[in-house]
Structure 1
Amino acid sequence: MAAVILRCDANTLRRWDYRAAVEHVAESGTVFERWRLGFCADIRPGTEAWVLLQGGNDIGSGLIGHGFVASEPYQAAAEADPDATDWFIAVAFDALLPLGEHLRPSTLGHAIPGIRWAGATGPSLVAMPPSSEPVLRRLWRDYGPTTADPAEVAAGTLPPGAVSNVQVNRYERDPDARRACLAFHGTSCAACGFSFESTYGGSGAGAVAVHHVVPPAMLDSAYQLDPIADLIPLCHNCHAVAHGVTQPRSVSELRSIISAFGHMRGEVLSDLALQAQDDARRILEGGQA
């Protein structure tokens, strides 16, 4: 199924405790919510979902959130009548706008005129035309939430010149390109194999960085990104080392560095660790472990 719009009104937001959900997403990156459909929809996990606030209220109407469907439709006790059942889905929201900062119906209607963005609340779930999806994603990038990089040091905490920054280009921060890259390559570091999710569980989901293999200086105005060929996942350590020189290091260079310096000076290594390092070196040289 194509991306969907989840329609709601002010009463739904109050029952949801929307302000708490906004804070949770800002802190952890994701919040899961049960979403009432009212009917059994043909929708699958992984479907992209947008939240549209509609109806007459003192908050206003507009697009307020983005996420992905996290479950098949299921029946559960209805909120208004515990003896009755209703249809629900679980939704993982990765971006929610504070009330009052939503994308206005006038902006949405000008860019995508084929959808009713304002007025009385309609069906709780509406499928989007596929041609409208990239337009809506661009609008969300232009007018939606701005997220700070948690690895960056806040301005003013150190004297000027005391902080060295890892330089990344805009392709490494593009959410759609990042999503396509990780869907193809997975979420483990392409250089060292580190997995945030394997180490930290759910708390590490989404923490891996995405690295652009072509130096920004080599890109011109006609460049078109291929997120599969041009982007790779890297842990933040490998990403920092890759960008630590004028000409960014390749994945092969990173692997060679790791193989050559797989331990710290003065560290006592076990026979197993030494054997693993030798095996890694033979693999890199084209031999067999």
Structure 2
Amino acid sequence: MSAIILGWDPDRRNHQAAVERVAATGLHLGRWRVGGQLDATAGTDVWLLLEGDRGRGLIGHGVVLPEQPDAGPPPSVSPQSAAAGPDSTAVYVHIAVDSLLPPGEQIAVGLLAEAVPGIPWEAGHPEGLGVEPADEEAIRSLWRNYGPPPGLDPTLPAAGTYPQHAVIRAAVNRYEQDADARRACLAHHGTSCAACGFSFEQKYGEIGRNFIPVHHLVPAALLGSSYELDPLADLVPLCANCHAMAHAGVATPRTVAELRRIIADAGFLPGATVTDEQLEAQRQARQLLGPQ
């Protein structure tokens, strides 16, 4: 068994709010009842099956969190309903939902049954259902084709489209993934890299329009509980290369001014062919820095 299927009740779990939370922060955390016979160890893939009178279908993906399951029901479940399950060894596990389709956009049961006939999609699974590796790969293939589109950075795969062992998870500052803050930042600063001046639209044309990652300037150590994001002052557009160099080998990210200085001081590799545009970009970088 390589994954488990768990039910998603859109009413009890406030579906729309969960979708918005995943879109804004990348995760929705919750607790699920899991039968004791299932392998729900940390890192196990979880596929969420929409239940209730709004239709059935594959609605989301998540991962079991690395913490010890506990035997007590979550606050939203009464002890009586918890005891009603057929498996007295059931436990509750914490799950990070990292991908969730909006209401009405679930992958239909008919499509699931055709692609993965070995799973009883129409039946209820109150304490989960184990998924064999071959079936799990078929589910993942469906998710790649019919699941959510890539997020703000299309170079990153949508959650669930690849197995856990094939993905390296990096911690991402959630302010850099806030769509509204990103729009405000780019409206103010433009869509060229604040450090090197690279423009995706200038280089790639229409497909690069309005595409550039944004970088959060405030060090994580200074983010107290009262912190409020100012997208104009706290975010800047940085291309992927400069964003990586801002974080490379340091605990506190380099500032945009430091990146500009590094670029200006680096010059060019011996023997490299230097264009007029590159020379002009270097001149402008030195001009921005001012007297040293």
Q: Bin the TM-score by the shorter chain.
A: 0.5 to 0.7
**Equivalent in 19, 26, 31 of residue 29 of structure 1:** 26
Amino acid of the structure 2 residue aligned with 1:26: A
3-state SS, counterpart of residue 111 of structure 2 = helix
For 1:180 and 1:237, how far apart are their aligned partners in 2? 29
Q: TM-score, normalised by structure 2?
A: 0.53
Map Cα deviations across residues 79-102 of structure 1 (whole Å, 9 max, x no partner). Answer: 2138x8872111101111122111
What are the equivalent positions in structure 2 for 1:69-84 lying under 5 Å apart? Answer: 69-70=64-65, 71-77=67-73, 79-81=77-79
Q: Which stretch shifts more, 174-183 or 32-41?
A: 174-183
What are the equivalent positions in structure 2 for 1:272-287 lying under 5 Å apart? Answer: none
**Equivalent in 123, 141, 157 of residue 174 of structure 1:** 157
Corresponding residue for residue 139 of structure 2:
136
Corresponding residue for residue 42 of structure 2:
45
Structure 1 residue 22, shift from structure 2 partner: 1.3
**Equivalent in 105, 118, 121 of residue 117 of structure 1:** 121
**Equivalent in 52, 61, 70 of residue 66 of structure 1:** 61
- Pairing 1:7–2:7 present: yes
For 1:16 and 1:177, how far apart are their aligned partners in 2? 26
Amino acid of the structure 2 residue aligned with 1:75: A
CA 1:179–1:37: 2 relative to 1, 3 Å:
closer
Structure 1 residue 53, shift from structure 2 partner: 2.2
Size of the aligned set, in residue pairs, is 189
Corresponding residue for residue 252 of structure 1:
none
Corresponding residue for residue 265 of structure 1:
289
For 1:114 and 1:258, how far apart are their aligned partners in 2? 61
Q: Percent identity at matched positions?
A: 33
CA RMSD in angstroms, aligned pairs only: 3.9
3-state SS, counterpart of residue 109 of structure 1 = helix
For 2:291 and 2:44, how far apart are their aligned partners in 1? 48
What are the equivalent positions in structure 2 for 1:92-241 lying under 5 Å apart? Answer: 92-118=96-122, 120-149=123-152, 172-175=155-158, 176=161, 183=168, 187=170, 197=172, 200=173, 237=238, 239=240
Map Cα deviations across residues 104-155 of structure 1 (whole Å, 9 max, x no partner). Answer: 111011111100111x413421121101222211211211122442x6xxxx
CA 1:260–1:43: 2 relative to 1, 3 Å:
same
Amino acid of the structure 2 residue aligned with 1:102: Q
Structure 1 residue 33, shift from structure 2 partner: 0.7
Q: Report if aligned partners of 1:41, 1:73 keep a CA contact under 8 Å in 2.
A: no
CA 1:4–1:59: 2 relative to 1, 3 Å:
same
CA 1:80–1:132: 2 relative to 1, 3 Å:
same
Corresponding residue for residue 20 of structure 1:
17
Amino acid of the structure 2 residue aligned with 1:98: P
For 2:33 and 2:291, how far apart are their aligned partners in 1? 57
Amino acid of the structure 1 residue aligned with 2:133: P
Q: Report if aligned partners of 1:69, 1:90 keep a CA contact under 8 Å in 2.
A: yes
Q: Report if aligned partners of 1:62, 1:104 keep a CA contact under 8 Å in 2.
A: yes
Amino acid of the structure 1 residue aligned with 2:131: M
Amino acid of the structure 1 residue aligned with 2:78: A
Structure 1 residue 40, shift from structure 2 partner: 6.7
CA 1:137–1:257: 2 relative to 1, 3 Å:
farther
Q: TM-score, normalised by structure 1?
A: 0.53
For 1:240 and 1:106, how far apart are their aligned partners in 2? 44
3-state SS, counterpart of residue 113 of structure 2 = helix
3-state SS, counterpart of residue 290 of structure 2 = coil
Corresponding residue for residue 88 of structure 1:
92
Q: Report if aligned partners of 1:5, 1:52 keep a CA contact under 8 Å in 2.
A: yes
Amino acid of the structure 2 residue aligned with 1:112: V
CA 1:265–1:29: 2 relative to 1, 3 Å:
same
Amino acid of the structure 2 residue aligned with 1:144: G
For 1:40 and 1:123, how far apart are their aligned partners in 2? 13
Structure 1 residue 241, shift from structure 2 partner: 6.2
Q: Report if aligned partners of 2:150, 2:156 keep a CA contact under 8 Å in 1.
A: no
**Structure 2: tracts of 5 or more residues without a match:** 84-89, 178-214, 216-236, 244-261, 268-284
